[in-house]
A and B are shown apart, each in its own frame.
Chain A
């Protein structure tokens, strides 16, 4: 069998345009086990956003391996290397197995009653003394749908706080906002099956080869077959995608919007647009054309430092595509003018009429496995079911559904985003923060600041996780949670495919499913509805799912046609799935009809530059009939930028072998050995100018901190350095804070999506000895 560390994408199974992607079933089992001798339980992948259907092997009460599900529409049997080996983390001896509480400054082992009662006592005291605005929840893109929905009801209808967000703010907030700005509503337009049909695949800041390896295998198989598609790659690094690209554009960080406006300029100037589609299905074309008229190739080439001819060639390929698939990820989402640039990708597809047909689509991607559920359940700065917080009718629906007074549900402003919650905590007005399944002490920007905020004694910090993360070390109460494979629930991937993940084994020790923990809290808090009945009327996953189905009814993310039973046995199913679409829906907007009608839409949108809310009356005037909206914006320079040749741009990102902050992948020997230590990548020229050679120690400094890493030379454009963001301190060799990329990153976020910028910090790099840690 292929060594999947050396060859992450496995063996090729070529296919031609329009053909079915061949199956290839990948399996990994603990040594000495026979596939016939283990129990198999249906699940899906949780170490990336692709949503590959996999089965979990269990043996003697322990997880013992995985196998790809041949029947699944997403992966046709394939398994990402992280999933092939990552399951071993479940069996790790250092799992959290008992609740911990802080006593006299240190964490001690405790029990569930003590831990939960402390949380309840603190909640009640805060509600009495400071009101619901003193309590916040920061959740994840890695829990399950039932858990997010329950948490959302607790926060909004139980406590009445507006402070609930997910770490999806770091990974998918811009995807969501780009869709809301263009289509009035969240919801992935395209489908992974568009890869089977596309003649051009344009990847914008999307290193799919490392973020979604199985989807990249699908693209590689198209490239290896008859009539392969053209690949357009926009990325400052020479990624595997760039190496397969017909045109690779490597813009200077922070200039994505200028690049996109340049592409739009060419497509419009050459009239490669679908005028009938524009006339019938869109508003705003004239303003878009006027805006991008200022971005001829020569000007864009200068701003982005790319060759004007490369830009022209890319625009020509995109302009002549018959089936154009555009995909977008963190290179755009975590950069300057994130939403405006991602919206510009939508604009390109829409003016070419490339939407809703096989091969013609948009995939605004996610970074995490269940990020889509965070969005749809209202744990990512929205109300549940893609409801519009500015639409009183939508809020009234929720009040009826939950049987609470409408005034209980905060809808006086947009739900508070994570960075603002942290700011409120920094100022001392948010005094209890409940973090579930995420690790902000490594993943948020400017870590020295984050550690200070989370470590304050005046902040009561609850951490619910499967391992003692860097964040858990700062907590007042730590709750041990069940991991994937130890609980049942459903989750939805980046192309709306809903999978069920069944429980294969029991959680270790006293660890409990996150849903159990949230329900326990609700019961101890005694949250009641208007008639005195328990607010949370469910305790098990299936009844929680049914409660969510009622919430989703009639909304774009309609789950009413699904059930646990229907999700078991075959492939995942794409929402909306209801009476009208009992088998799910492969592509949205096939008929040029959108969810942007003023009374139905999820959002009235925001100004792409300032982030100011667009008023309902203004929305109604510009888009009364619910069409797609072409929203332009001009390029502005990033707030921090290099001032001389000594300074470089820093971008952060992933390696194929790790996920998030390595809590799981760092505990799988094969994955850890494949990438055990942080490194810094810089161009040959930039390395030479600093006297740095391959594998030399280097010191990377910004005004916010200092990181030490070994150098990898080449594979990136001049003027830019890259650090992987996975590495924190739980397995570091020493006590300092010189390993996490986020020691260096700037605190700045997109005005629209509020997604922090991880791609546009400024650093200085020098060849450095281990002890040299002098500052900026």
Chain B
């Protein structure tokens, strides 16, 4: 049985996704919707991490229930830089690159949820299937958000 591996991998990928959302938000504070939404969506990943950690012990894995916080210093440096660069066009391209990386990262998390759900069904682990059923739709919404933002911003960034 390797479901513990799937759980471990999901825990790792959701933890780093939450961190990535925060980092991207802080880097683009002058794009106000990106800044606010990234913080909100990081919260979804935090919540998933907590749920995965709760499910862990009954499947033989012990996982941290909250992701390690970003350093405050780095975080405020990122925010200050984003404000200082806020009036230049180059961050537009950087934002596109960041959203692209978010999209790909969420896609990987989505695949991990699918793997867990498939494994859980085969092993008849109802609690893990329930976990995936609860969390995976939110992962897909995170991905839809990144996709929508990419579509909206790309025309201006790539033609200006």
Q: Which residues of A contact B (CB under 8 A)?
A: 130-131, 133-134, 162, 410, 412-414, 416, 419-420, 423-424, 426-430, 606-607, 609-613, 636, 639, 747-749, 751
Contact = CB atoms under 8 A, between A and B. Distances in A.
B141 interface: yes
A367 B147 CA distance: 32
B89 A162 contact: no
A413 B155 contact: yes
Nearest to B33: A749
Contacts of A412: 151, 155
Given A133-B159, A636-B40, 13 more contacts: A412-B155, A414-B152, A416-B152, A416-B156, A423-B30, A426-B30, A426-B86, A426-B87, A610-B37, A611-B37, A613-B144, A639-B39, A747-B32
A578 B145 CA distance: 40
Nearest to B142: A610
A131 B157 CA distance: 12
Candidate in B41, B151, B152, B156 with the most chain A CB atoms within 10 angstroms: B156
B159 A131 contact: yes
Given A133-B156, A639-B36, A610 B92 contact: no
A133 B141 contact: no
18 contacts: A410-B155, A412-B155, A413-B152, A416-B152, A419-B33, A423-B30, A426-B87, A427-B92, A428-B89, A429-B92, A607-B141, A610-B144, A611-B37, A612-B144, A639-B36, A639-B39, A747-B32, A748-B36
Given A130-B160, A636-B40, A427 B148 contact: no
Given A131-B159, A133-B160, A636-B40, A748 B152 contact: no
Interface string B117-160: 00000000000000000000000011011011001100111011
Contacts of B37: 610-611, 751
Contacts of B89: 427-429
B31 interface: yes
Contact of A611 (B142, B145, B160): B145
Contacts of B40: 609-610, 636, 639
B interface secondary structure, majority: helix
Contact of A748 (B32, B144, B148, B156): B32
Nearest to B86: A426
A420 B149 CA distance: 12
Given A133-B159, A748-B36, A427 B145 contact: no
Nearest to A756: B32
Nearest to A456: B87
A interface secondary structure, majority: loop
A609 B43 CA distance: 13
B88 interface: yes
Nearest to B87: A426
B67 interface: no
A429 B141 contact: no
Nearest to A746: B32
Contacts of B91: 427
Closest 3 CB pairs of A and B: A612-B144, A429-B160, A610-B145
A343 B41 CA distance: 22
A611 B148 contact: yes
Contacts of B160: 130-131, 133-134, 424, 429
Given A419-B32, A636-B40, A612 B148 contact: yes
Contacts of B157: 429
A247 to B, nearest CB: 32
Given A426-B87, A428-B87, A429-B160, A133 B33 contact: no
Interface in B27-70: 30-33, 36-37, 39-41
Contacts of A613: 144, 148, 151
A748 B36 CA distance: 8
A46 B44 CA distance: 45
A610 B141 contact: yes
A410 B152 CA distance: 12
A410 B157 CA distance: 15
Contacts of A428: 87-89
A381 to B, nearest CB: 11
A687 B141 CA distance: 44
Contacts of B152: 413-414, 416, 420
Contacts of A747: 32
Contact of B88 (A413, A427, A606): A427
Contacts of B30: 423, 426
Nearest to B158: A133
B141 A609 contact: yes
A555 B87 CA distance: 42
Contacts of A427: 86-89, 91-92
A433 to B, nearest CB: 14
A628 to B, nearest CB: 22
A133 B153 CA distance: 11
A747 B91 CA distance: 19
Contacts of B144: 607, 610, 612-613
Candidate in B92, B141, B145, B151 with the most chain A CB atoms within 10 angstroms: B145
